[in-house]
Amino acid sequence: MRALQFFNVGRQGSLILIAILLAQLHLPTSELGNYEQLLFLGHVLSFFLVSGLIQGMLSYYPGLSEAEQKRFLFNALLLFLALGLVIVAIAWLAKGCLWQFVVHKTHLRYYSLFLIYLALNFPSFLIENHLVLLRKGWPVLRYGLYSFGAQVIAMVLPIFLGLDFRYSFYSLIGVGAARLIYLLFLVGAMGSRKLDLELIKKWLKLALPLILYAILGGLLPAFDAWLVGYLFNGDEEMFAVFRYGAQELPLALALTNAFSNVMVVEVATDVKKALPLIKARSLRLFHLLFPLSIVLMLLSPFLFPWIFNSDFVKSVPVFQVYLFVIISRLVFSSTILIGLKANSVLTWIGSLELLLNVGLSFYWGLKFGLVGIALATLVAFTFEKIMQCIYLYRMHGISPKEYLDIRWFFGYSALLLMAFLLS
């Protein structure tokens, strides 16, 4: 579990470090905005498939026979390669519609280069999760160090050398190719390269509800970014201001996602034993993430212009609102529901959450601007967790106090609110 947590921290940390270094190297804000729009578009096109398929993989793989496990990675590679090519083909053929309706632009610079990277990089999400299933912690950490270190260097070094930003994307393509080569090496090491359509079919059947849930979850930040473009007529600088501010606590998403993925397996195996385990281990995350959130809440007005530049002072209120999302992130009700295979419930609650977010974002976005959009997201996230907790209690008799340390949870939440009022 810790290896995957550190890996996810590296993934998120590398993106944050790239953003900081590009701003410190005085890359124009318009270029930063264009880069963020490319990342956003890539997220919209691929996140839901990756998330759903990987979660399905983590619950599906342990139940396979040894022979099926040996065939799995090869068939997973074929599926991910095919899906990556389909996504890129759609992104290229429908680029005009995507630019206009997703980021509200008539053109995105470096788009074709970014799509090449997306196609090469899409299968690489199999690597760390496959290594985790094989319980190879150190290889996960080594791969993360080399992979994300190379990504940071690829994006930043050309700008440091005074080259055009285009060369950063050439370098990024090289990183994507290296990851794919490593994945091919892992497939070769498994020793079985036999097409198994039945294996893929069963995997897809299990993963489909999780893909739908991921779509609903991914549409929340996607809609927020779309709305910023809509309300501000595709302004690159305003988009960058929002994207730099609309960041949850650094490390939080990485640590909670890795924790959730591991606990899904525990719940599926024995829910009664898993609940106290979730309660005890999530408390460790409380003691790490809540104090960090409180410190950042107090210091963010000073840190943003120092870490980035003075253009991003406007990002501070958005960031402070997003820090409150940690409260709902540390309630692992969705983890229990996935382990119980209550996937349809997640989809229905996610649909209601999305509808609530859309309505509030439009209303508060028009009234309060960027902060209003962020506040709507916070309310929607909170609503989702409350509904999940109610369902677990009503339908399964599982009280929140069985998987959540209530005293520490509300105590830390109150301190975070006090820090916000003080800042």
pLDDT value, residue 218: 67
pLDDT tens-digit profile of 312-334?
777 888 888 889 999 999 999 99
pLDDT value, residue 85: 92
Q: Tell me the average pLDDT across 387-398.
A: 93
pLDDT value, residue 1: 56
User: Which of the residue ranges 27-36, 220-229, 408-417 would you say has the lowest mean pLDDT?
Assistant: 220-229
Q: Secondary structure of the chain in the HEC alphabet?
A: CHHHHHHHHHHHHHHHHHHHHHHHCCCCHHHHHHHHHHHHHHHHHHHHHHHHHHHHHHHHHHHCCHHHHHHHHHHHHHHHHHHHHHHHHHHHHCHHHHHHHHCCCCCCCCHHHHHHHHHHHHHHHHHHHHHHHCCCHHHHHHHHHHHHHHHHHHHHHHHHCCCCCHHHHHHHHHHHHHHHHHHHHHHHHHCCCCCCHHHHHHHHHHHHHHHHHHHHHHHHHHHHHHHHHHHCCCCHHHHHHHHHHCCCCCCHHHHHHHHHHHHHHHHHHCHHHHHHHHHHHHHHHHHHHHHHHHHHHHHHHHHHHHHCCHHHHHHHHHHHHHHCHHHHHCCCHHHHHHHCCCHHHHHHHHHHHHHHHHHHHHHHHHHHCHHHHHHHHHHHHHHHHHHHHHHHHHHHCCCHHHCCCHHHHHHHHHHHHHHHHHC
Read off the pTM.
0.69
Percent of the chain past pLDDT 70, that is, above it, reads 94
Percent of the chain past pLDDT 90, that is, above it, reads 33
Say if residue 221's pLDDT is above 80.
no
pLDDT tens-digit profile of 256-278?
887 887 787 788 778 888 999 99
Q: Tell me the average pLDDT across 18-43.
A: 83
Say if residue 11's pLDDT is above 70.
yes
